[in-house]
Chain A
Amino acid sequence: MKEAVPRLSLGWLLSTFVLVISPHLLRLPIGVSALIAVCIVWRVLIFRGRLAFPGTAVRLLVVVFSLPLTVLSYRGEGAGLDVAVCLLILGTSFKLLEMRRRRDMIIVLCLCYVLTMVGFIYSQTIPAALLALVNIVVITSALITLYRDNIHSSVESNTRLAVRMVAQSIPLAIALFVLIPRVAPLWSMPIPVSSSTTGVTDEMSPGDVSRLSRSAALAFRVSFDTQTPANEDLYWRGLVLDSFDGRVWRRGGSSLLSFEILERLRTPSRGEVLGEDIGYDLILEPTQQSWLYALQLAQTNTADIVQDRYYTLQTRKPVTQRYRYQVRSALEYRADVRLSGALRARALQLPQEDSNLRAREFARDLRRASSDDEGYMLQVLRYFQEQPFYYTLTPPALGEASIDEFLFDSLQGFCEHYASSFVYLMRAANIPARVVVGYQGGEVNPFEGYTMVYQYNAHAWAEVWLPGQGWVRVDPTAAVAPERISLGAQAVLANEPGFLEDSRFSMMRFRDTQWLNALRLRLDAVDYAWNRWVISYDETRQVDLLDSLLGQQLRERIFLVLGAVLALFFLIAAFFLLRGAPAQMRDPATRLYLRLAADLAGSGMIMRHRGEGPRDFCERLARQQPELADDMGRVTGLYVQCCYGREGNEAGREQLLQELMARIRALRLRVASPTRRLWLRLLPRHY
């Protein structure tokens, strides 16, 4: 029964375990959850004496079957990480059934710490961090119960101690977080993601953008180095779509090139910066796509980002976690003053089998009536403005000739309808044009001064190439519903039936209640700060921070100094630990006497027991090694007299000590090993 499992500790441990795995339960297959529950109940029944510990056969059976079953239940998902986490949790629950002694409980609790860390793979938000903190407190107090007997152990006092310990360790954790060198991971984890919020896709058909407006999910957050530009300047370009098949707009040409090829090509941007550029810092929510959002005309010098011929930005890997990048954009620019043949051909492409005959005719007539391309463009925009076009989230469905039906029959549409038909009309008049999808506008958070861009800010607009001006951004939506651009989607769409339909419980719906809205903005500001300072704290930011705190010179040395201090600390600790003896032994006679004992042990003659007094030791030695009996007897006599005997005068004591030293030395020379003997001769007499 020794070191049996204490009742209080078991209760703590089981509740700790449940708490720690609870965030994982949603992801686990139902069978695994059931198995875990069985393990817990079984352990409780063992404690109550209803069941026995499972035998070797049962344990073997469970392990042998649960392993393939787990892998099978994840079949098809191909996520190795989920399987690994599931197996870890299962293994921990099986360990519950083997938990006989305190040592086992400590193992389970250590596994609980690991499981808490595993939680961060799935979520790195503030609530997740707070939950982890709570978990750590609970696990720690469970550990404390293990080291306290039932008399001194109460839930309250253990928790108090655990909170104190965790609170004390937080400053250290922060210091380590800031200071420990950040090394890029050797391998990256295949992060499982939910595909529900991917934002803008690389295809646009009628209804795609309006679908996004149902969601109040965050797309990205931006903070500008200087003043935030006006809402109507915030056209966050995502992708350029220039291939139209009559219904769907797709990417084409070089925008389909992969990152590696683009990186190899890496041609200098052919855009011309006219005015001041503005810098901003963007944190993109996971999109599962590799393109990034930026204002035209974007420049970046991040190694992981390239720009293609369409001035869109692409990153090396799909954005599966929050991704932070810095861009500078010139809002006044000229792009592609000379248009290459291939690009021009792409920008003029129209469907091969086109049924939008009315639109073609309309374009032909209108072009004939206008003096030049720009005049034609303004005519088209005026058409949008003057006809009773209606900007709505729920336009009627369109048939085969979607452009015709929209332009001349229904007159109801969302931005993709306008952008699509506008570009069509441009191309029909032989003017290069293309569709751009991305986000428009954003909401400034008044507390922190950054801009939040939501999925409902998704937008589609057009770019038209005009001779001498290059690509010019034209937003037909602005002609129909100017307030959409100046005030934002929120202001225009708030009363639309479909708006935010997918986010019924989003706080966004309550933005008319002032305090709730303020709360929403505050929470978002906190979350933003968390992402900016904690989640995206990497090597570069660490170096920047340390530079600003310490200056470059000091920073370069701080790791050296820190490392040296740590190394020294561990060396000293190791020295005292390995030496095995406390440093307080100052009595020279005892020190020598113990060295003699060590030599005797080293020579294999006799080992002094810890609790053996000098006379007992001497007697035992005399029995085992009679030839040493006389010498040892004399040494022991002198030692006893020296250390335990009556205090004589100083001189007498000194003389006694000298004699003892001489005798011990002589005896050690007799018994020590050859190397040790050499040391003895080399070292001073009192060694």
Chain B
Amino acid sequence: MQDRIQAAVDEIGQVLLGKEQQIRLALCCLLAGGHLLIEDLPGMGKTTLAHALARVFGLDFNRIQFTSDLLPADILGVSIFDQPNACFTFHPGPIFSQLILADEINRATPKTQSALLEAMEEGQVSVEGETRPLPAPFFVIATQNPVSLAGTFPLPESQLDRFLMRIGIGYPDPKAERELLERGVEPEQARLVRQSLGLEDLVAMRKAAGSVRLSPLLLDYVQRLIAYTRDNEHFRFGLSPRGSIAVVRAARTWAYMEGRDHALPEDVQAVLPAVVEHRLRVGVEAEGRSAPALVQRLLSEVDVFR
């Protein structure tokens, strides 16, 4: 199974050069059944990654470009009067799809954002008094641009919390960049990604990842990490129980992707930044430091063994 994961990673790696760690994190997030938030500057490959992820799983895929005038009905769907049959028929919106790419999610109004985020949490949508279930694996990959904030509505903490992971992509290293430059821009390149995992793989993997062993020693470590975020004055507030569950879930999946039946402290450390950075706020004491720096501090301050 690990071979197939590696194959999927390699497949995506063809379109997103030199970003294996980010690809693995993104895969880990989807395998753990969580929603993914990709946050980076324009042109860094956010959309490319999202496209490639959808294709590699062979999932039914819809893309929603969020704008400030997007309405909830544009996402969820709308009932329109059907003249011949003299009744209202529901026209499902783009959300009725296994994988949603919500591009530039922070451009939409809070009303629209929350329509999407409700669907993410519940796995169903309520339109005109009728509850309609969403497709079985339901993933949201949202992207946002953290810099040009004019005319945006930043997601509040409560909604950020719904994303299992938030990853950045970052500039490519010189070697990858060189290759990119030599190959030139191919707008449709994500289409080249072949499906290497199926829906049934997803279910099986998720099941297997759920049985990865968490030893008491490891859970002690996780608890120490959480306690640190709650007690240390550098954090404005600590990690919620939902956050700590997310850490463990991601660490298990990561261990599974590494081909182990037990999780190690290194697994926790690998996923921790992506899982907790967007859930933490910098406290008054640490004004001016970034959340990633704080998480690095957290990792280096908390002892693995005691």
Most chain B CB within a 10 A radius of its CB, from A3, A581, A584, A644 = A644
Instruction: Judge if A527 is at the interface, Cβ distance under 8 Å.
Output: no
Q: Is the CB of A594 within 8 A of B299?
A: no
Which one of B87-95, B166-174, B261-269 is at the interface? B261-269
Which residues of chain A come closer than 8 Å to B284, judged between CB atoms? 149-150
Which residues of chain A come closer than 8 Å to B261, judged between CB atoms? 645-646
- Which of B213, B266, B306 is A613 in contact with, Cβ under 8 Å? B266
Contacts A149-B284, A613-B265 known; A646 to B213 CB distance under 8 Å?
A: yes
Q: Is the CB of B266 within 8 A of A590?
A: no
Q: Is the CB of B213 within 8 A of A590?
A: no
Contacts A590-B217, A644-B217, A645-B213 known; A614 to B265 CB distance under 8 Å?
A: yes
Contacts A3-B285, A149-B284, A644-B262 known; A610 to B217 CB distance under 8 Å?
A: no
Q: Is the CB of A611 within 8 A of B285?
A: no
In angstroms, how far is the closest chain A Cβ from the Cβ of B39?
A: 25
Q: Is the CB of A644 within 8 A of B263?
A: yes
Q: Is the CB of A640 within 8 A of B306?
A: no
Question: Which residues of chain A from 603 to 650 have any CB-CB distance to chain B below 8 Å in the complex?
Answer: 609-616, 640, 643-647
Instruction: Judge if B105 is at the interface, Cβ distance under 8 Å.
Output: no
Which residues of chain A come closer than 8 Å to B287, judged between CB atoms? 1-2
Instruction: Judge if A372 is at the interface, Cβ distance under 8 Å.
Output: no
A581 to B284: give the CA distance in the assembly, Å.
29
Instruction: Judge if A55 is at the interface, Cβ distance under 8 Å.
Output: no
Instruction: Judge if A593 is at the interface, Cβ distance under 8 Å.
Output: yes
Instruction: Judge if B215 is at the interface, Cβ distance under 8 Å.
Output: yes
Q: Is the CB of A610 within 8 A of B215?
A: no
Q: Is the CB of A615 within 8 A of B301?
A: no
- Which of A3, A593, A644 is B215 in contact with, Cβ under 8 Å? A644
A257 to B49: give the CA distance in the assembly, Å.
106
A111 to B168: give the CA distance in the assembly, Å.
50
Contacts A3-B285, A149-B284, A616-B266 known; A611 to B213 CB distance under 8 Å?
A: no
A150 to B288: give the CA distance in the assembly, Å.
18
Residues 57-94 of B, flagged 1 when their CB comes within 8 A of A and 0 if not, give 00000000000000000000000000000000000000
Residues 565-591 of A, flagged 1 when their CB comes within 8 A of B and 0 if not, give 000000000000000011011010010
**Nearest residue in A to B270 (C-beta to C-beta)?**
A613
Which residues of chain A come closer than 8 Å to B285, judged between CB atoms? 2-3, 149
Q: Is the CB of A609 within 8 A of B215?
A: no
A1 to B285: give the CA distance in the assembly, Å.
9
Which residues of chain B come closer than 8 Å to A614, judged between CB atoms? 264-266, 304
A609 to B304: give the CA distance in the assembly, Å.
9
Instruction: Judge if B177 is at the interface, Cβ distance under 8 Å.
Output: no
**Nearest residue in A to B296 (C-beta to C-beta)?**
A611
Which residues of chain A come closer than 8 Å to B262, judged between CB atoms? 640, 644-646
Which residues of chain B come closer than 8 Å to A609, judged between CB atoms? 300
Which residues of chain B come closer than 8 Å to A612, judged between CB atoms? 304
Question: Which residues of chain A from 148 to 163 have any CB-CB distance to chain B below 8 Å in the complex?
Answer: 149-150
Which residues of chain B come closer than 8 Å to A611, judged between CB atoms? 269, 299-304
Instruction: Judge if B218 is at the interface, Cβ distance under 8 Å.
Output: yes
Q: Is the CB of B264 within 8 A of A644?
A: yes
A610 to B298: give the CA distance in the assembly, Å.
10
Which residues of chain A come closer than 8 Å to B302, judged between CB atoms? 610-611
A3 to B287: give the CA distance in the assembly, Å.
10
In angstroms, how far is the closest chain B Cβ from the Cβ of A642?
A: 9
In angstroms, how far is the closest chain A Cβ from the Cβ of B143?
A: 31
In angstroms, how far is the closest chain B Cβ from the Cβ of A563?
A: 34
In angstroms, how far is the closest chain B Cβ from the Cβ of A331?
A: 73
Most chain B CB within a 10 A radius of its CB, from A610, A611, A614, A647 = A611
Contacts A149-B284, A640-B264 known; A647 to B213 CB distance under 8 Å?
A: yes
- Which of A2, A3, A582, A610 is B304 in contact with, Cβ under 8 Å? A610
In angstroms, how far is the closest chain A Cβ from the Cβ of B106?
A: 27
Which residues of chain A come closer than 8 Å to B213, judged between CB atoms? 644-647
Instruction: Judge if B121 is at the interface, Cβ distance under 8 Å.
Output: no
**Nearest residue in A to B263 (C-beta to C-beta)?**
A644
What is the total of A-B residue contacts with beta carbons within 8 Å? 70
Instruction: Judge if B233 is at the interface, Cβ distance under 8 Å.
Output: yes
Question: Which residues of chain A from 426 to 453 have any CB-CB distance to chain B below 8 Å in the complex?
Answer: none
Q: Is the CB of B304 within 8 A of A615?
A: no
Q: Is the CB of A587 within 8 A of B300?
A: no
Residues 1-27 of A, flagged 1 when their CB comes within 8 A of B and 0 if not, give 111000000000000000000000000
In angstroms, how far is the closest chain A Cβ from the Cβ of B260?
A: 9
**Nearest residue in B to A582 (C-beta to C-beta)?**
B306
Q: Is the CB of B266 within 8 A of A581?
A: no
Which residues of chain B come closer than 8 Å to A615, judged between CB atoms? 264, 266
Residues 236-278 of B, flagged 1 when their CB comes within 8 A of A and 0 if not, give 0000000000000000000000000111111001000000000
**Nearest residue in B to A640 (C-beta to C-beta)?**
B264
Which residues of chain A come closer than 8 Å to B263, judged between CB atoms? 644
Contacts A1-B288, A3-B285, A614-B265 known; A594 to B217 CB distance under 8 Å?
A: no
In angstroms, how far is the closest chain A Cβ from the Cβ of B147?
A: 24
Which residues of chain A come closer than 8 Å to B283, judged between CB atoms? 149
In angstroms, how far is the closest chain A Cβ from the Cβ of B266?
A: 4
Q: Is the CB of B264 within 8 A of A590?
A: no
In angstroms, how far is the closest chain B Cβ from the Cβ of A234?
A: 68
Which residues of chain A come closer than 8 Å to B300, judged between CB atoms? 609-611
Which residues of chain B come closer than 8 Å to A2, judged between CB atoms? 285-287
A618 to B146: give the CA distance in the assembly, Å.
38
Residues 493-505 of A, flagged 1 when their CB comes within 8 A of B and 0 if not, give 0000000000000
A584 to B269: give the CA distance in the assembly, Å.
23
**Nearest residue in B to A580 (C-beta to C-beta)?**
B306
Q: Is the CB of A645 within 8 A of B305?
A: no
In angstroms, how far is the closest chain A Cβ from the Cβ of B127?
A: 41
In angstroms, how far is the closest chain B Cβ from the Cβ of A128?
A: 38
Contacts A643-B215, A647-B213 known; A613 to B288 CB distance under 8 Å?
A: no
- Which of B233, B266, B301 is A610 in contact with, Cβ under 8 Å? B301
Which residues of chain A come closer than 8 Å to B265, judged between CB atoms? 613-614, 644
Most chain A CB within a 10 A radius of its CB, from B217, B283, B301 = B217
Q: Is the CB of A149 within 8 A of B233?
A: yes
In angstroms, how far is the closest chain B Cβ from the Cβ of A648?
A: 11
Contacts A1-B287, A611-B301, A644-B263 known; A581 to B306 CB distance under 8 Å?
A: yes
Which residues of chain A come closer than 8 Å to B233, judged between CB atoms? 149
A587 to B213: give the CA distance in the assembly, Å.
18
Most chain B CB within a 10 A radius of its CB, from A1, A150, A610 = A610
Q: Is the CB of B306 within 8 A of A590?
A: yes
Q: Is the CB of A587 within 8 A of B217?
A: yes
In angstroms, how far is the closest chain B Cβ from the Cβ of A490?
A: 66
In angstroms, how far is the closest chain A Cβ from the Cβ of B141?
A: 29
In angstroms, how far is the closest chain B Cβ from the Cβ of A321?
A: 48
Q: Is the CB of A590 within 8 A of B305?
A: yes
Which residues of chain A come closer than 8 Å to B286, judged between CB atoms? 2
Which residues of chain A come closer than 8 Å to B269, judged between CB atoms? 611, 613, 616
A687 to B266: give the CA distance in the assembly, Å.
27
In angstroms, how far is the closest chain A Cβ from the Cβ of B216?
A: 8
Q: Is the CB of A644 within 8 A of B305?
A: no
12 extra A-B contacts, CB within 8 A, seeds A149-B285, A590-B306: A149-B283, A150-B284, A584-B306, A609-B300, A610-B302, A610-B303, A611-B269, A613-B266, A615-B266, A644-B217, A644-B263, A645-B213
A selection of 19 A-B contacts at a CB cut-off of 8 Å is A2-B286, A149-B284, A581-B306, A587-B217, A590-B305, A590-B306, A609-B300, A610-B303, A610-B304, A611-B299, A613-B265, A614-B266, A615-B266, A616-B269, A640-B262, A643-B215, A644-B217, A644-B262, A646-B213
Minimum-distance CB pairs A-B, first 4: A613-B265, A613-B266, A611-B300, A644-B215
